[in-house]
Amino acid sequence: MPELPEVETWRRLAQKHAVGKKISQAFVADDSIVFDRNDPTTLPHILEGRSISATHRKGKHCWLSLDNGQDLYLHFGMTGSLHWLPDLAAEPSHIKLRLHLSDGSHLSYRNLRRIGRVRLLDDVTALPPVSLLGPDPLEDDFSVQTLQSQLSKRKAPIKAILLDQKVFAGVGNWIADEVLYAMKLNPHTSCASLDPTQIQELRSTLLNILTQAVDLDADASRFPKDWLFHYRWGKKATSDAQGASIQFDQIGGRTTAWVP
């Protein structure tokens, strides 16, 4: 599933290539699952003629603000992605939404498994799921004090709480594992047992990993070679970059990769 770095990379792509441009034409796939709040047959007529005035992201959620005050919300589900194309020659398959921009380029939303959602809303931030999210580590108040007040009340494992979008908006499974791996912190550790120094380290490590991933355009092939990311996937994963054994546990209903 796309996590915060991927979604921020796509937001920046839209910011660079689409903001200030008019939607001259819109293609909307006839898919009532992806377009669960708007009629796919009438949505193109609403979008056409509008200009994209801004881009936003919170956690794994992204939206484009239009010049009429509405928001075009994009959620990527398991396999969604956003593409900017100067022409359509290299456009991938499974495009659900294509915005033809006034300079002749295109902004296309792709989704293979139809788990993502596209919605035209009056205010994304006033409605679930965005209204239910906690602080975004890169965008919102994410002080040590805020974290300490959140974590000190919880006895659940730190790995499970890292995945709680009401506490860490945008943090997904591999990021949580990477943070704990970098800290050499057992993912089963109770949040309430963390001392202020560990919470400060948790915050700085999370911000460091997210910032690096975003700066590298969420291109996994460019991630540091000693990251657990490169060694944690698949049934044949056995050891990290140093040869230490990787263990896989279920924590909070998710598979956790860690190195005891």
pLDDT of residue 142: 85
CATH 1.10.8.50 domain locations along the chain: 144-258
Model pLDDT for residues 200-239, shown as the tens digit of each residue: 999 999 999 999 999 999 999 999 999 999 999 987 899 9
Task: Answer positive or negative: Cα dihedral of 196, 199, 204, 207.
Answer: negative
For the chain, state the CA radius of gyration: 20
pLDDT band with cut points at 50, 70 and 90 for residue 240:
very high
Strand 23-28 with 95-101, pairing: antiparallel
4-132 CATH, one of 3.90.226.30, 3.20.190.10, 3.30.70.270, 3.10.20.30: 3.20.190.10
Share of the chain above pLDDT 90, in %: 95
Q: Write down the pTM of the prediction.
A: 0.95
Is position 260 annotated as part of the catalytic site? no
Q: What's residue 104's pLDDT?
A: 97
- Exactly one of 5, 6, 58, 60 is catalytic; name it: 60
58-71 burial: b if 16+ Cβ within 10 Å, else e:
bbbbbbbbbeeebb
Catalytic, out of 3, 6, 8, 178: 3
Q: Known catalytic residue: 2?
A: yes
Statement: residue 58 has pLDDT above 80: yes
pLDDT digits (tens, 9 = 90+) for 101-115: 999 999 999 999 999
> Which residue carries 């109770």 as its tokens?
190
Decide if 159 is catalytic: no
Domain boundaries 144-258, corresponding CATH code: 1.10.8.50
